[in-house]
Chains A and B, each alone.
Chain A
């Protein structure tokens, strides 16, 4: 005790000093907020001082476009070959020549594809996975989403390998040259993941033309970061001895990488592939909304026409596809080779693969003669649209008043006041507070970064829109965190509840973000409340998961020690479990905030008025400068939030001696 006492006493004045600084800073900002006339330039960023970054970017893009179109268009042509091939194979079929004597080859038969998915499920996970895969694919077929789903699948089938290959290469580079990793790759990945996808769709469209290739490249950029990260992780995690072994056998650099390190890291790499697939699906859905075609487009059309039933059905098709892809790729990742009998031929070694190819070929040939094999016969198609519509109508008739009252209450008494407060917040004050927090948490470096990024939002004239984004994102994240932490605590206390909750979390996490909007729009129509609820649903999972995990991972011995000391259940929670789980919970919060931000941007489609809307307008006008500037502002908000949260987590962890 005495040792601790002597240590803390000299630090006491320092803490008091910081409290003083904080009080002073907050007081300054409060005065500025109350009496904006003292220094109007510090409250509202002067419009004549706005840095025309948007114009510069536009000019640069125009220059790129005039000088490098030959290059980008030839890239488009190259990528277009496999892409068109995949689309023909899965969705459209081939057509050679023109007119009545044109030679047509059919696409893969839907029956064959369903069977192939079932076989894959059987090979990777037994009869249950086979049933799940077949069920989901048949759902898509019977409910009339086959064509769109296959278009989506074709885009995924081409962009995923692209992502995986480039992700691997970048990951290897990052592993080999740590300084490149730190100075270029890591910041780039942060930007790629926080930048809204729409923002870089614009330059893609400008450079690569209005073709599916642009969407595919945007997908590749969006989905690549987890591959890079898991490659680095996989290579770093290879046991030191295996690395030494590679050296001792006399491997050359290339041999060691290809024959020792990468195969040893396969499980981690496969986790990356799974994430790439899910992100690619998410992105393909989003880019389909701007005209690339596919599942998302149907949802958006139906939603805009207020065809609740149809949009729900199409939305569920996305869910079905997401679940199939996720479960199959996860099961494939878990596959491990086991002892085999030598001297088998190909068919004996890969019975499922052979069967799948045979079924696909057989049904596809048949589909040339039997129309029922070529496309889903209308007779067996079903629709639950009327049913969904009836449900929503019923809810709206009976509960309209309650829902409306809830909505209005939220809007008038919670959302709008917060919004007004933040939008009127002096920009200089925000920069000051953020910088102070950065300095306090980590030091001058972080302070400079967050100050510059926050100032960027003001200096580009996007301050009010940034604050509108911050408000919606912040409120949603806080609500998600409150509910998520509560659910996580409940799950950590009861195995039964956890067993019930975790599969739901798994499924929520695989769903493309747009799926969350559909049911909420039905009940709450468009607007901020809808955006908030959809965002909460989307962002809640990490908060639940990390809280549950954080509490459960506390060593049994500590719990026993607390029990022996006579802690009540309440004391145990507040004094032992919560403090020890806090770093983990903070990690979850960090992810919740980032997910909320990405979702808020997508919610611009249902009429929020923030940076997301700015990006959408730019997309409609093909204004690269405007879109990218808003995109950077969004990314910077995300990065500032991420860095500050991460720094405070680090502080917590080092205080607990966990690092």
Chain B
């Protein structure tokens, strides 16, 4: 982030404009007796050594992040990295030991139990790794369940449920019970159920981890499709870096309870903050995360272009075309303004994973 090109700032300006939906600042979750006192006495500053000395276990340590409205924000970490604990702190399923969590500027941690119930009923939705469907209810009843808890009458809640069932493509299965569905279908129910209340913020806790690789892929595509319609603010937990790359606007990588880097997939791949992050990004196909803007150089006057791409397009989306026609492509901004050009050689270098990737600035 420190060595970002000015161009990127300009490009991301549109995204950065979006107001912050969920902000968590310096959140700690420490297990052990006297954890709260310990952190309070140090005003929320502690090292792993001092924690160990006090016989405390830090599951989440000074985690800070900002999720913008309409963004898919992914928290990536291996098992035991604290990602699930962090998302449970954000939704206050677990009470953070220290720090603040703000939803639209309102401090969630100060919400009283009945306020919290209201917030959860109307503004939050959550999808679980193992689906967490109620075994005694049909698909329809499961999806209508959040509304029935709110006291919505049967007719309107079932109407609403049928709408989301259609949205996730489960029409015709309304009267089935969860155990009669496949894993993928069950998670569709889980997704539909969390969407029934039209939440503003949507927590997805490893939603596809329990599914087969093929189904997982299908569901990822499905999520992208849904998000293009719904434009929710999404906090998505995963341990699968490829999944993160595929879906994320931005990714936060966690290790041992700490967020070690936050950034777009491209930033993580190009500028891993630590060796740990680099370990993940090493095998990522760069053409899938890098955009045309990364490869472009200034426009050559009166050149003959083989085609036009947008600055935000990933290289993999046009690499076959540009290599095939052996001509440079014109790179434009979203409004059609020309920004630069990409040469076939640059693309080939990237595909061949040569280090000669140049960062040409406008």
Contact = CB atoms under 8 A, between A and B. Distances in A.
Given A242-B132, A264-B136, A339 B118 contact: no
Contacts of B129: 241
B175 A342 contact: yes
B91 A248 contact: yes
A603 B138 CA distance: 51
B93 A248 contact: yes
B288 interface: no
A245 interface: yes
Interface in B119-171: 119-122, 124-126, 128-132, 134-138, 145-146, 148-150
Given A241-B132, A263-B134, 5 more contacts: A241-B128, A241-B131, A242-B132, A249-B197, A336-B135
Given A239-B130, A252-B117, A264 B177 contact: no
A247 B116 CA distance: 10
B136 A339 contact: no
A337 interface: yes
A250 B123 CA distance: 10
A266 B136 contact: yes
Interface in B283-338: none
A250 B177 contact: no
Lowest 9 CB-CB distances: which A-B pairs, in order? A250-B121, A250-B120, A241-B132, A245-B132, A241-B128, A249-B146, A248-B126, A263-B136, A250-B117
B176 interface: yes
A575 interface: no
Q: Interface size class for chain A?
A: 20 to 34
A252 B148 CA distance: 12
A244 B87 CA distance: 12
A340 interface: yes
A338 B146 contact: no
B128 A244 contact: yes
Contacts of B180: 338-339
Contact of A245 (B128, B136, B148, B179): B128
A337 B137 CA distance: 9
B216 interface: no
B177 A248 contact: no
B235 to A, nearest CB: 13
Contacts of B128: 241, 244-245
18 contacts: A242-B132, A242-B134, A244-B132, A245-B132, A247-B120, A248-B93, A248-B124, A248-B125, A248-B203, A250-B117, A250-B121, A263-B135, A266-B136, A337-B177, A338-B180, A339-B138, A339-B176, A342-B175
A245 B207 CA distance: 13
A239 B132 contact: yes
A250 B149 contact: yes
A63 B177 CA distance: 57
A264 B135 contact: yes
Interface in A495-527: none
B88 interface: yes
Interface residues of B, number: 36
Interface of A: 239, 241-242, 244-245, 247-252, 255, 259-260, 263-264, 266, 336-342
Contacts of B134: 242, 260, 263-264
A252 B151 CA distance: 12
Point out which of B131, B132, B137 has the most chain A C-beta atoms below 10 A from its C-beta. Answer: B132
B88 A244 contact: yes
A249 B145 contact: yes
A339 B175 contact: yes
A255 B149 CA distance: 7
B82 to A, nearest CB: 16
Contacts of A241: 128-132
Contacts of B136: 263-264, 266, 337
Contacts of A239: 130, 132
B33 to A, nearest CB: 17
B121 A249 contact: yes
A486 B175 CA distance: 51
B211 to A, nearest CB: 15
A247 B146 CA distance: 10
Nearest to B123: A250
Contacts of B117: 250-252
Contacts of B149: 249-251, 255, 259
B126 A245 contact: yes
A336 B177 contact: yes
Contacts of A341: 175
A258 to B, nearest CB: 11
Interface centre among A248, A340, A341 (most CB of B within 10 A): A248
Contacts of A259: 145, 148-149
B127 to A, nearest CB: 9
B120 A248 contact: yes
A61 B31 CA distance: 50
Nearest to A263: B136
Contacts of B126: 244-245, 248
A77 to B, nearest CB: 38
Given A241-B128, A339-B177, A250 B93 contact: no
Contacts of A252: 117
Nearest to B145: A249
A255 to B, nearest CB: 6
A248 B197 CA distance: 11
A263 B122 CA distance: 24
Nearest to A252: B117
A627 B179 CA distance: 52
A247 B135 contact: no
Nearest to B129: A241
A335 to B, nearest CB: 11
A263 B203 CA distance: 25
B175 A340 contact: yes
Contact of B146 (A250, A337, A339): A250
Contacts of B176: 339
B147 to A, nearest CB: 9
A245 B175 CA distance: 21
Contacts of B179: 336
A366 to B, nearest CB: 39
Contacts of A263: 134-137
A338 B139 CA distance: 11
A259 to B, nearest CB: 7
B85 to A, nearest CB: 12
B242 to A, nearest CB: 24
A178 B29 CA distance: 23
A238 B85 CA distance: 19
A341 B175 CA distance: 7
Interface in B174-200: 174-177, 179-180, 197
A596 B93 CA distance: 47
Contacts of B175: 339-342
A244 B90 CA distance: 13
Contacts of B120: 247-250
Contacts of B137: 263
Contacts of B174: 342
Contacts of B122: 250
With a 10 A CB-CB cut-off, give which of A250, A252, A266, A337 has the most chain B CB atoms.
A250
Nearest to B151: A255
Nearest to B135: A264
A250 B93 CA distance: 11
Contacts of A251: 117, 149
Contact of B93 (A247, A260, A337, A342): A247
B130 A250 contact: no
A570 B134 CA distance: 49
A240 to B, nearest CB: 9
A242 B120 CA distance: 15
A606 B168 CA distance: 70
Contact of B118 (A248, A250, A264, A337): A250
A339 B132 CA distance: 19
Nearest to B179: A336
Contacts of B119: 250
